[in-house]
Amino acid sequence: MMAQYTPMIQQYLRVKADYEDAFLFFRLGDFYEMFFDDALKASQILEITLTSRDGGSEDRIPMCGVPYHSAKGYIERLIEAGHKVAICEQREDPKQAKGVIKREVVQVITPGTMMEGAGIQEKENHYLASFERSGSEYAIAAADLTTGECRTAVFQSFDGALHELAAYGVKEVITNGTWTENEIKQMIGRLGAVISVEENTDEFEFDALMTKLTHSLLRKGTARLYHYLHRTQKRNLDHLQPAEQYEIRDYMNIDYFSKRNLELTETIRSKGRKGSLLWLLDETKTAMGGRLLKQWIDRPLLNEADINRRLDIVETFMANFFEREELREQLKEVYDLERLAGRVAFGNVNARDLVQLKKSLGQIPLLTNLLKKINGDEVQQLADKLDPCTELYDLLDRALIHEPPISVKEGGMIKDGFHTQLDEYRDAARNGKQWIAELEKEEREKTGIKSLKIGYNRIFGYYIEVTKANLHFLEEGRYERKQTLANCERFVTPELKEKETLILEANDQMMELEYELFSQLREKVKEFISRLQHLARTVSEIDVLQCFAAISESRRFVRPVFSQDRTMIIEEGRHPVVEKVMDAQLFVPNNCLMGPERDMLLITGPNMSGKSTYMRQTALISILAQIGCYVPAEKAILPIFDQIFTRIGAADDLVSGQSTFMVEMLEAKHAIVNATDRSLILFDEIGRGTSTYDGMALAQAMIEYIHTNIKAKTLFSTHYHELTVLDQSLTHVQNVHVTAAEQNGKVVFLHKVKDGAADKSYGIHVAQLAGLPEDVIARADELLHSLENKKDKPAVVNEGQLSFFDEPEPVKETAPKEEQSLISTLLSYDIMEMTPLEAMNTLYALQKSVKNRNGVKR
């Protein structure tokens, strides 16, 4: 079949066979060309012209292409659309090739392996991950190729591992290709990532990068990830850092749903940063500090000593305002050391990048001196960890000019005096050009032709140009004619050609040597990659902690204290994001008081009164405390929570086809199954997605189970006012309500949380605020009064309308056997052991049974 095609198309098909899941950018001269299906698909995605060419077969071959010098933008568009691109370059000079030019793939760019471009966010990591399974264990290894970081962990459930991958925001998942169709569907649906396959898991080649990994499944998955990176990038990746193994139990566990509900790093509606906790906190001055901040928010600490170490540094920075402000200014001058090191290792660093590296290193002694002025042992330790890499700074300072060009192959990067041979070439080139300028001046004087000029082009080299109007001034035989144009003649002289050879040779040799020197410089910088990465981590930590200090001071946060007996006392607590968005003076702060014997707050109050805000702010205060930041309150004594679970808001899971109520129940189950007495649970309106009786029964059952079996600190809001009697039977439950007042028939939300249950729901008033028609509001109010006046009497449906009656209809006499059955059922109940809700449900069921037997319409 292949024999029918031309040799070049046959070569294309052989290469394409190894990269069937990628668009093959096949280099032909100054273009990257695509053929067959690649051309058909790419022309649509990239909106470029689809053409065709003769490939030796009867039918013309579909073809499209992009210029190689502008291919970067087209590649980014394909990657953004979730595709891969294999770059196939010419590997020999076309002039020297015998037959078809040798070509080979030099790199495969995938959604998870991009190193630069619009898809790389400055303050966000760009992860890809391997996903491994063995029996009931699951392992992930997540790496950021731009920084070289790699983190690994083991999980006991598929969902747990998937939640962690979602937290990383992975762009690509590397598997062994054996996952089920349903599992792949869940990965794509939850992560929105590309799924790739890598079969090689040989560990020997990467043993040095896996010395910290003890779990066999982790080592296998990490080796698979590293093999994929090397297979696609086809180069040494010297910036890859040793893989770190972490235990989920070492950090506060906040599952995917809770992170979404609490809007820690992005908002639910817009999926953007603005309005999230990350948006509020991000006063970092470096890109790497911004990435570390996000990592800290994703994984709050559990170790009290580690938390207090961060808080001590924040307190020290807050006490040294002027030094902190100077520190913030100096940090602005530090570029992204992590990604600069990655670009050096990857081989795509240019001279401007290295100048940025030099400037960043130049700031390190200034940062060290400034930190040394601040009293505080922890700050002094940070100062001692700052490595200025003095030898590297001196080398870069001697080698590179201050503002080099972007291109590394056109010269103009290296300073004069750095290399003797380069200086000689430059001197020859500069003197040659000076000689040309002087020759032009002399020839004008000798010939009397003021418009005579000496020019240059790539075809003829240097030439003397004389307009036709001035040709009669030239002596016969003075110049050798080289070219005739419409308005002028071009000439050369033996002397000019001799000088041209010297100048051009000097230019060529100068650029060739300069590129060689830059390549050597780049290799020298590679020796410092490990030190640069350690330096980047220290600068990042300093940046985040100064950021916490700046935020804490400007937003009036206080230092939290941690309790050993699960006591939680938050006085005048505030939701930090809501407070920032609205006028801080209008925000109503609230207390949250839960001692060792008070585990659950049952929260009632009208919609829009602030119940959800109150619950969220409690969780955010706990998270802020455990990442080492001050908290928005007047006073905060907090337990250290091992996990936070939330069920706030509801949304259909369209990907898996689950309803709002099913999502609600799954999230509730996840909390109830996994929570401990050291956890924080936030349940908002549990049961509202189903019928009233079902919802009320589920809500009470959950309250009782959490109270009796889990004993976690719990905030449980509800509209089921019947549940407020539970504080009489459940000793660790406390009723609180969000206050509201009625003025002139309209509701006024006071947003203040007080002890006790709410006396009304104000549902109709909220509907009125929403702008429902007055007729609807009036009718609802009328029906409400009717219901309240006759709330103890049963309702029936009569001809499609809800109606009430004062006396029940006469009941037919039951047969003796049926009567005996009813009596037996009644006698079987232990009324003293029933909860009020159980008693009501039982009575309702009995009444329904009697009506059914006697033909009473319901």
| Residue 196 labelled as part of a binding site | no
570 three-state secondary structure: strand
User: Given this model, what pLDDT does residue 719 score?
Assistant: 85
854 pLDDT more than 70? no
Q: What angle do CA 13, 15, 20 make, to 5 degrees?
A: 80
Maximum CA extent, the chain: 143
Q: For 843, how many CA atoms within 13 A lie in the half-sphere containing its CB?
A: 10
How far apart are the C-alpha atoms of 204 and 628, rounded to whole Å? 40
How far apart are the C-alpha atoms of 798 and 796, rounded to whole Å? 6
Token digits of residue 503:
């100048």
Pairing of β 713-717 and β 680-684: parallel
Residue-wise pLDDT tens digits, 182-203: 999 999 988 999 999 999 999 9
Mean pLDDT, residues 259-274 taken together: 90
Residue 794's pLDDT band, with cuts at 50, 70 and 90, is: very low
Q: Which of 22, 12, 25 is nearest to 55 (CA)?
A: 12
User: Given this model, what pLDDT does residue 787 score?
Assistant: 60
In this structure, of 29-43, 316-330, 414-428, 819-833, the range with the lowest mean pLDDT score is: 819-833
| Residue 635 labelled as part of a binding site | no
Neighbour count for residue 478 (Cβ, 10 Å): 13
| Residue 1 labelled as part of a binding site | no
Cβ proximity of 491 and 480 under 8 Å: yes
| Residue 771 labelled as part of a binding site | no
Concatenate the DSSP letters of all residues of 734-761 into one string.
EEEEEEEEEETTEEEEEEEEEES--S--
How far apart are the C-alpha atoms of 392 and 395, rounded to whole Å? 5
Q: Which of 70, 147, 81 is nearest to 109 (CA)?
A: 81
Residue 164's pLDDT band, with cuts at 50, 70 and 90, is: very high
Residue-wise pLDDT tens digits, 640-673: 999 999 987 644 443 344 567 787 888 888 899 9
- What proportion of the chain, given as a percentage, has pLDDT over 90? 67
How far apart are the C-alpha atoms of 405 and 410, rounded to whole Å? 8
Neighbour count for residue 373 (Cβ, 10 Å): 12
Mean pLDDT, residues 718-745 taken together: 87
| Residue 34 labelled as part of a binding site | no
| Residue 607 labelled as part of a binding site | yes
Residues 6+ apart with CB under 8 A from 178: none
Neighbour count for residue 272 (Cβ, 10 Å): 10
User: Given this model, what pLDDT does residue 827 score?
Assistant: 67
Domains of the chain: 2-109 (3.40.1170.10), 127-246 (3.30.420.110), 282-389+528-554 (1.10.1420.10), 420-522 (1.10.1420.10), 561-758 (3.40.50.300), 793-854 (no CATH)
Residue-wise pLDDT tens digits, 568-609: 999 999 999 999 988 777 889 999 999 988 999 999 988 778
User: Given this model, what pLDDT does residue 270 score?
Assistant: 84
List phi, psi (to 5°) of 713.
-65, 125
Query: What long-range pairs does 402-411 form, CB within 8 A, spacing at least 24?
Result: 402/355, 403/355, 404/350, 404/351, 404/352, 404/355, 405/351, 405/352, 406/350, 406/352, 407/350, 408/350, 408/351, 408/515, 408/518, 409/511, 409/515, 410/511, 411/510, 411/511, 411/514, 411/515
Residues 6+ apart with CB under 8 A from 694: 687
User: Given this model, what pLDDT does residue 721 score?
Assistant: 85
Please, what's the b/e burial string for 643-681 (b: 16 or more CB within 10 A of its CB; e: otherwise)? bbbbbbeeeeeeeeeeeebebbbebbebbbebbeebbbb
How far apart are the C-alpha atoms of 113 and 98, rounded to whole Å? 35
| Residue 554 labelled as part of a binding site | no
User: Given this model, what pLDDT does residue 1 score?
Assistant: 54
802 pLDDT more than 80? no
Pairing of β 85-90 and β 23-28: parallel
User: Given this model, what pLDDT does residue 578 score?
Assistant: 93
List phi, psi (to 5°) of 160.
-60, -45
Mean pLDDT, residues 27-48 taken together: 96
Residue 804's pLDDT band, with cuts at 50, 70 and 90, is: very low
Mean pLDDT, residues 244-255 taken together: 93
User: Given this model, what pLDDT does residue 693 score?
Assistant: 79
Cβ proximity of 65 and 31 under 8 Å: yes
User: CA gyration radius for the chain?
Assistant: 37
327 pLDDT more than 70? yes
Concatenate the DSSP letters of all residues of 667-718 into one string.
HHHHHHHH--TT-EEEEESTTTTS-HHHHHHHHHHHHHHIIIII--EEEEE-
In this structure, of 2-11, 197-206, 390-399, 780-789, the range with the lowest mean pLDDT score is: 780-789
List phi, psi (to 5°) of 716.
-125, 110
User: Given this model, what pLDDT does residue 856 score?
Assistant: 54
428 pLDDT more than 90? no
How far apart are the C-alpha atoms of 570 and 560, rounded to whole Å? 9
Mean pLDDT, residues 411-417 taken together: 94
Token digits of residue 842:
């039982």
284 three-state secondary structure: coil
Mean pLDDT, residues 77-88 taken together: 96
Token digits of residue 286:
């470096």
Mean pLDDT, residues 778-806 taken together: 55
Name, of 483-492, 693-702, 756-765, the range with top average pLDDT: 483-492
Cβ proximity of 62 and 55 under 8 Å: no
Q: Distance between alpha carbon 565 and the CA centroid of its chain, in Å? A: 36
Residue 745's pLDDT band, with cuts at 50, 70 and 90, is: low
Output 815 or 573, whichever has higher pLDDT: 573
Residue 57's pLDDT band, with cuts at 50, 70 and 90, is: confident
Place of tokens 């037959």: 99
Tell me which DSSP letter residue 558 carries. B
The helix, strand and coil proportions of the chain, stated in percent and rounded to the nearest 5, come to 50, 20, 35
How far apart are the C-alpha atoms of 470 and 488, rounded to whole Å? 9
Residues 6+ apart with CB under 8 A from 182: none
Mean pLDDT, residues 611-629 taken together: 96
User: Given this model, what pLDDT does residue 419 score?
Assistant: 94
Question: For residue 153, what are the β-bridge partners?
Answer: 140
803 three-state secondary structure: strand
Which residue type, as a one-letter code, is found at position 60? R
Residues 6+ apart with CB under 8 A from 775: none
Q: What's the pTM value of the predicted model, to 2 decimals? A: 0.83
User: Given this model, what pLDDT does residue 314 score?
Assistant: 98
How far apart are the C-alpha atoms of 432 and 416, rounded to whole Å? 18
857 pLDDT more than 60? no
User: Given this model, what pLDDT does residue 504 score?
Assistant: 82
Cβ proximity of 84 and 23 under 8 Å: yes
814 pLDDT more than 50? no
Beta strands in 346-485 (DSSP E): 453-457, 461-467, 480-484
797 pLDDT more than 60? no
Beta strands in 114-238 (DSSP E): 127-134, 137-144, 149-155, 172-175, 194-197
Using CA of residue 411, residue 416, residue 419, residue 424, what is the dihedral sign? Answer: positive
List phi, psi (to 5°) of 738.
-95, 125
Q: Across the chain, how many H-helices and E-strands are there?
A: 26, 29
Please, what's the b/e burial string for 526-558 (b: 16 or more CB within 10 A of its CB; e: otherwise)? bebbeebbbbbbbbbbbbbbbbbbbbbeebebe
The mean of the pLDDT values for the chain is 88
Residue 761's pLDDT band, with cuts at 50, 70 and 90, is: low
| Residue 745 labelled as part of a binding site | no
713 pLDDT more than 60? yes
How far apart are the C-alpha atoms of 40 and 56, rounded to whole Å? 19
Token digits of residue 30:
């100054």
465 three-state secondary structure: strand
In this structure, of 269-273, 502-506, 848-852, the range with the lowest mean pLDDT score is: 848-852
User: Given this model, what pLDDT does residue 803 score?
Assistant: 43
Residue-wise pLDDT tens digits, 282-307: 999 999 999 999 999 999 999 999 99
Cβ proximity of 219 and 213 under 8 Å: yes
Q: Which of 130, 163, 127 is nearest to 144 (CA)?
A: 127
Token digits of residue 623:
């998270």
